[in-house]
Chains A and B, each alone.
Chain A
Amino acid sequence: MGEERVIGQPRPIRDAASKVTGRKAYVGDMSLPGMLVGKLLLSDRPHARVLSVDTSEARTMPGVHAVVTWEDCPDVRYNSAQRMIDAQVPLTERVLAREVRHVGDRVAAVAAETEEQAMAALRAIRVTYEDLPAVLSIDEALAPGAEPVHGTSNVVGVLEKGDKDIEAHLAACPHVVSGSFSTPPIHQGAIETHCAMANWSEEGKLTVITPCQNSFAYRVILAQIFGLPLNRVRVVVPAIGGGFGGKLEMTIEPVAALLSRKARRPVKMVLSRKETIMATRVRHGSQSRVRMGVDDQGKLLAIDVDCETNTGAYAGSAFNVAGALLENPFQLYKAPYVHVRVRPVYTNTVPGGAMRGYGGPEVYFATECMVDRAARAIGADPVEFRRENIIAPDSLNEEGVPRGNPRPADCLERASELIRYEEERRAKKPGDDGGRFAWGIGVAVGSHGNNCHGVHRDVASPMIKMNEDGSAVLYTGSHEMGNDTLGTQAAIVSEVTGVPLDQVGIVASDTDTVLWHIGDYASRGTFVICAGVKRAAELMACELRREAAPLLGCDSSEVVLRDGRAMRGDGVPEVTLREVMIHCQAVTGRELCVHVTYEAPRGVCSYGAHAALVRVDRQTGEVRVERYVAVHDVGHVLNPLMLEGQLEGGIAMGLGYALSEQVSFGPDGRPVQQTLGRCGMPRATDMPLDLRTDFVCADGGEPDGPWGAKALGESPVVPVAPCIANAVSDAIGVDIHDLPMDPARVLEAMGRGEES
């Protein structure tokens, strides 16, 4: 480390100038000749059979070019979260529904010349429904005799991992604590609403332009729906105005395609915020029961987690999120006996999909709150208790595989230091004596995986070509979501090949021009994709050295590439990469283009420890975060500026989850929160004034990561809610079980405390 010229330097995001000038073209800003406006008719009831859809009037209205209902759809059921062409996943969804399963389900759609015409036509569509019983919560869905949302049972499946004898192990523990927890669905809240453009060529090729996180998966599903070979479906992602998992699963794209096919015109659909909340995806809600067994010396012996996730109306991510959730309780503590069971459950609510953290924030809220209670059961300090039980570097995971270089213990130490844990724990605060304000301090630790090793294909396939002037182009499947994944990849190419950073171009996230890409989720960008790009860049560097060697009169192994030049080891003589490439083209007679298919050699985790100092208003129940600390283990830091920003953003998202965000459903199945203002997302004034972040890196970072780097990605969201909950519990002396900890709930908890 330390030799790098580009890697490790603070760099703003690559397309920052386009974004600050407003010139970045997002999908909603684009248009095509003859383009029509597409609008959706959504179900206003949670569960009903569609008996008839009368479109006769709508079809004849001015400007209307196409009206589509289930009768226009190919008779294909699909899974909106399918990733691979050969994946075995439950197929429960249709482009337009014959049986609506949630308020916001797609019933019909219109394409017209103007938005007003499309809206008018929607109002003229008459739908006759036959209402069916609806289940609006996990408990209702699991009740005996509940109406099944699909098939015969509302349990999509049962995922289980770990020690089957957990009951016996718990029974043998001197101390056992238990608790029940719930977390709500929330809106992913990207500021860009869902949108898509679709166009069929006269030759029968479908092009979809959409801000999604998984272009190749969308291609697979669109090809299935419309019965096309993959060469006749192109998915292009020019820009994404925020993803956070909400744009990982396909939602409106096949509707736009259906409209375009019928109208024989390009169709653009831009959802309103209300539609994005009701008709796309939310974070899975969850409920869980956790038990932990501890010995007298403070050793955590057993963890049992039994959890249900609310997967809503369609299977989508049901198994993916539950599967990721399942792994988390094994990642942080040395407890010898761990058992987890997760059951995704159908309900007649907005489908649960992916959201940053992907099961982690849900389960860590429960387990990290329980760790505090386990510490309390034996009279131990929560930090000390974690210190004793947390995993160490060079240890083995539950399957006996080396964990690599996990540093949650270092994160915890640094976070305790930054929050001044020992001092603050002892300090008297105004109000401590029963006045209006109660003060509390809390910590929580979390983890998040970096890849899909052992679950399914876990590869990156970047390609690099050289231009004849010595500049280069990187072809990558990555979707830029704002974390500078593309800029980091370009920096890696520059670092390794010596092509100056401003001479590395990028072509990205276009299924016709880049090699197959697995999609951007699971925080894979650094540990897998960047490692793959580094490998490809090393291959290109070999080619450049080979071509430069005869010009320099030396062996290729002696050639150094730097600053757009190739030189002999001692710096003399040197040639420009332009000269190398002209020689390559004119004399050697070859073009330089390399690609790799890089597979991650193992699964790794990133870690973070958070600490918070909170003030609870006993009169109003309001929680104010006075100081917040987050320290993360991401191995070697590739770009400190963007990592800090990503961490701060994750904290904000976690604070919303902890304190204010939810999507709840009324008795009629409608989401109560239908505007951004009601979703509870934090604003600038909600952020703690005293916010301290740091990164730890020891012993070269993470083995197999590029320069020892691994993800930040999703991990910052994970520890926030339990950290705040533990601080609030510390303040008011009552345990917290449910999110969000809004004022009403905190008051309710305090009331509970007084009763007990």
Chain B
Amino acid sequence: MEPSGMIPVTLTVNGRDYPLLVPRTERLLWTLRERLGLTGAKCGCGTNDCGACRVIVDGVARNSCVLLTRNMEGKSIETIEGLSDGLTLHPIQQAFIDAGAVQCGFCTPGMIMSAKALLDSNPDPTEEEVREAIKPNLCRCTGYVKIVEAVLLAARRMREADGENSAHAVAATGGVSA
């Protein structure tokens, strides 16, 4: 065994703080799954190849299977469990359903996290940009076609919703409500 003194670290996951003691070599995926019970992120490879474990760290989609937990102090970690408030689905989740982008589902959480990181920074991506964003995510069921469609559908819906929200904001400040 390698020397493995336990290291204190406070993880911030989906807006909640988790003070933990973890081995030096523990990787984030196992911390999420084994210590926090957040099993949405999956292990498909453990070698940075498949993206099933993808989470968003400070706005960037990363493979949690190769991130050391002790390096995550002070960073904001988003996982698939943080997307939905439990009442309504996030528009990307809904679009994955509507576009038929889900089959066996094992790659789905990681795929959605890649999509979210993309749309958070680029609300109107091209098809090529979507493909590039999900390139780290392997899927063996879908051939990616419906996944790309889902991300583009989500982007459109989110832009439309933003447009409506702005319209409502105008209405609330004295405009005429539609």
Q: Would you call B97 an interface residue if the criterion is a C-beta within 8 Å of the partner chain's C-beta atoms? A: yes
**With A13-B102, A20-B102, A191-B107 in contact, do A26 and B42 touch (Cβ < 8 Å)?**
yes
Contact of B104 among A10, A12, A240 (CB under 8 A): A240
**With A12-B102, A22-B80, A22-B81 in contact, do A645 and B146 touch (Cβ < 8 Å)?**
yes
19 new A-B contacts, CB < 8 A, other than A12-B102, A26-B42, are: A18-B105, A20-B109, A21-B84, A22-B109, A28-B39, A188-B140, A192-B44, A193-B43, A241-B42, A242-B141, A273-B46, A482-B105, A483-B103, A644-B100, A646-B103, A648-B146, A649-B139, A653-B140, A683-B138
Given the complex, which residues of A lie within 8 Å of B131, measured CB to CB? Answer: 684-685, 687
Residue of B nearest to A677 (CB): B49
Q: Would you call A171 an interface residue if the criterion is a C-beta within 8 Å of the partner chain's C-beta atoms? A: no
Docked CA distance A25–B101 (Å): 19
**With A19-B105, A22-B80, A684-B131 in contact, do A12 and B140 touch (Cβ < 8 Å)?**
no
* Min C-beta distance of B97 to chain A, whole Å: 4
Q: Does the CB pair B140–A10 fall under 8 Å?
A: no
Q: Would you call A190 an interface residue if the criterion is a C-beta within 8 Å of the partner chain's C-beta atoms? A: yes
Given the complex, which residues of A lie within 8 Å of B127, measured CB to CB? Answer: 689
- Most chain B CB atoms below 10 A, which of A10, A651, A677: A677
Q: Does the CB pair B103–A28 fall under 8 Å?
A: no
Given the complex, which residues of A lie within 8 Å of B144, measured CB to CB? Answer: 648, 652, 683-684, 687
Q: Would you call A316 an interface residue if the criterion is a C-beta within 8 Å of the partner chain's C-beta atoms? A: no
Given the complex, which residues of A lie within 8 Å of B143, measured CB to CB? Answer: 645, 647-653, 682, 687, 691
Docked CA distance A251–B142 (Å): 26
**With A191-B42, A240-B104 in contact, do A681 and B142 touch (Cβ < 8 Å)?**
no
Q: Does the CB pair A193–B44 fall under 8 Å?
A: yes
Interface mask (B12-48 → A, CB under 8 Å = 1, otherwise 0): 0000000000000000000001000011111111111
Q: Does the CB pair A242–B104 fall under 8 Å?
A: yes
Q: Would you call A272 an interface residue if the criterion is a C-beta within 8 Å of the partner chain's C-beta atoms? A: yes
Q: How large is the interface on B (under 10, 10 to 19, 20 to 34, 35 or more residues)?
A: 35 or more
Q: Would you call B152 an interface residue if the criterion is a C-beta within 8 Å of the partner chain's C-beta atoms? A: no
- Most chain B CB atoms below 10 A, which of A16, A651, A685: A16
Contact of B132 among A12, A681, A685, A687 (CB under 8 A): A685
Docked CA distance A645–B41 (Å): 23
Q: Would you call A396 an interface residue if the criterion is a C-beta within 8 Å of the partner chain's C-beta atoms? A: no
Q: Does the CB pair B49–A676 fall under 8 Å?
A: yes
Q: Does the CB pair A691–B145 fall under 8 Å?
A: yes
Docked CA distance A235–B109 (Å): 27
Q: Does the CB pair A28–B43 fall under 8 Å?
A: yes
Docked CA distance A17–B141 (Å): 17
Contact of A677 among B43, B47, B107 (CB under 8 A): B47
* Min C-beta distance of B40 to chain A, whole Å: 2
Residues of B66-110 contacting chain A, CB below 8 A: 79-81, 83-84, 89, 93-94, 96-98, 100-109
Q: Would you call A24 an interface residue if the criterion is a C-beta within 8 Å of the partner chain's C-beta atoms? A: yes
Residues of B146-169 contacting chain A, CB below 8 A: 146-148
Q: Does the CB pair A21–B40 fall under 8 Å?
A: yes
- Most chain A CB atoms below 10 A, which of B49, B131, B141: B141
Q: Would you call B117 an interface residue if the criterion is a C-beta within 8 Å of the partner chain's C-beta atoms? A: no
Q: Would you call A71 an interface residue if the criterion is a C-beta within 8 Å of the partner chain's C-beta atoms? A: no
Q: Would you call B119 an interface residue if the criterion is a C-beta within 8 Å of the partner chain's C-beta atoms? A: no
Contact of A649 among B48, B79, B141 (CB under 8 A): B141
Residues of B102-143 contacting chain A, CB below 8 A: 102-109, 112, 127, 130-132, 134-143
Complex A-B, nearest 8 residue pairs according to Cβ-Cβ distance, in ascending order = A22-B40, A19-B105, A241-B106, A482-B104, A482-B103, A648-B143, A652-B143, A22-B80
Given the complex, which residues of B lie within 8 Å of A242, measured CB to CB? Answer: 104, 106, 140-141
Q: Would you call A167 an interface residue if the criterion is a C-beta within 8 Å of the partner chain's C-beta atoms? A: no
Docked CA distance A653–B132 (Å): 19
* Min C-beta distance of A35 to chain B, whole Å: 12
Docked CA distance A25–B39 (Å): 8
Q: Would you call B172 an interface residue if the criterion is a C-beta within 8 Å of the partner chain's C-beta atoms? A: no
**With A12-B97, A648-B145 in contact, do A21 and B83 touch (Cβ < 8 Å)?**
yes
Q: How many residues of A contact B (CB 8 A)?
A: 61
- Most chain A CB atoms below 10 A, which of B79, B84, B93, B106: B106
Residues of A654-699 contacting chain B, CB below 8 A: 675-677, 681-685, 687, 689, 691
Residue of B nearest to A687 (CB): B144
Residue of B nearest to A30 (CB): B39
Q: Does the CB pair B103–A191 fall under 8 Å?
A: no
16 CB contacts below 8 A, A to B, read A12-B98, A19-B109, A20-B94, A26-B42, A189-B138, A189-B140, A191-B104, A191-B106, A273-B50, A482-B102, A645-B101, A645-B143, A650-B143, A675-B47, A677-B49, A684-B144
Docked CA distance A646–B138 (Å): 16
Residue of B nearest to A187 (CB): B140
Interface mask (A32-63 → B, CB under 8 Å = 1, otherwise 0): 00000000000000000000000000000000
Docked CA distance A440–B141 (Å): 28
* Min C-beta distance of A211 to chain B, whole Å: 9
Given the complex, which residues of B lie within 8 Å of A188, measured CB to CB? Answer: 140
Q: Does the CB pair A16–B39 fall under 8 Å?
A: no
Docked CA distance A21–B147 (Å): 15
Contact of B40 among A23, A484, A675 (CB under 8 A): A23
Q: Does the CB pair A645–B141 fall under 8 Å?
A: yes
Docked CA distance A624–B49 (Å): 22
Q: Would you call A421 an interface residue if the criterion is a C-beta within 8 Å of the partner chain's C-beta atoms? A: no
* Min C-beta distance of B53 to chain A, whole Å: 10
Residue of B nearest to A13 (CB): B102
Q: Would you call A4 an interface residue if the criterion is a C-beta within 8 Å of the partner chain's C-beta atoms? A: no
**With A13-B103, A16-B96, A21-B83 in contact, do A273 and B141 touch (Cβ < 8 Å)?**
no
* Min C-beta distance of A740 to chain B, whole Å: 16
* Min C-beta distance of A167 to chain B, whole Å: 43
Docked CA distance A270–B139 (Å): 20
Given the complex, which residues of B lie within 8 Å of A24, measured CB to CB? Answer: 105
Q: Would you call A244 an interface residue if the criterion is a C-beta within 8 Å of the partner chain's C-beta atoms? A: yes
Docked CA distance A644–B141 (Å): 11
Q: Does the CB pair B50–A649 fall under 8 Å?
A: no
Q: Would you call A6 an interface residue if the criterion is a C-beta within 8 Å of the partner chain's C-beta atoms? A: no
Given the complex, which residues of B lie within 8 Å of A172, measured CB to CB? Answer: none
Q: Would you call A29 an interface residue if the criterion is a C-beta within 8 Å of the partner chain's C-beta atoms? A: yes
Q: Does the CB pair B104–A481 fall under 8 Å?
A: yes
Q: Does the CB pair B81–A676 fall under 8 Å?
A: no
Q: Would you call B52 an interface residue if the criterion is a C-beta within 8 Å of the partner chain's C-beta atoms? A: yes
Q: Would you call B178 an interface residue if the criterion is a C-beta within 8 Å of the partner chain's C-beta atoms? A: no
Q: Would you call B176 an interface residue if the criterion is a C-beta within 8 Å of the partner chain's C-beta atoms? A: no
Docked CA distance A120–B1 (Å): 7
Q: Would you call A116 an interface residue if the criterion is a C-beta within 8 Å of the partner chain's C-beta atoms? A: yes
Q: Does the CB pair B39–A29 fall under 8 Å?
A: yes
**With A189-B140, A644-B146, A646-B103 in contact, do A273 and B132 touch (Cβ < 8 Å)?**
no
Given the complex, which residues of B lie within 8 Å of A120, measured CB to CB? Answer: 1
Residues of A179-200 contacting chain B, CB below 8 A: 188-193
Docked CA distance A242–B135 (Å): 19
- Most chain B CB atoms below 10 A, which of A191, A650, A677: A191
Contact of B45 among A15, A16, A677, A687 (CB under 8 A): A677
Q: Would you call A158 an interface residue if the criterion is a C-beta within 8 Å of the partner chain's C-beta atoms? A: no
Interface mask (A220-256 → B, CB under 8 Å = 1, otherwise 0): 0000000000000000000111111000000000000
Contact of A684 among B50, B100, B134 (CB under 8 A): B134
Contact of B139 among A25, A191, A273 (CB under 8 A): A191
Docked CA distance A176–B142 (Å): 40
Given the complex, which residues of A lie within 8 Å of B136, measured CB to CB? Answer: 683
* Min C-beta distance of A394 to chain B, whole Å: 33
Contact of B41 among A22, A190, A241 (CB under 8 A): A22
Q: Would you call A76 an interface residue if the criterion is a C-beta within 8 Å of the partner chain's C-beta atoms? A: no
Residue of A nearest to B30 (CB): A115
Interface mask (B46-64 → A, CB under 8 Å = 1, otherwise 0): 1111101000000000000
Contact of A675 among B49, B79, B80, B102 (CB under 8 A): B49
* Min C-beta distance of A195 to chain B, whole Å: 10
Docked CA distance A728–B140 (Å): 25
Given the complex, which residues of B lie within 8 Å of A483, measured CB to CB? Answer: 103
Q: Would you call A641 an interface residue if the criterion is a C-beta within 8 Å of the partner chain's C-beta atoms? A: yes
Docked CA distance A729–B115 (Å): 38
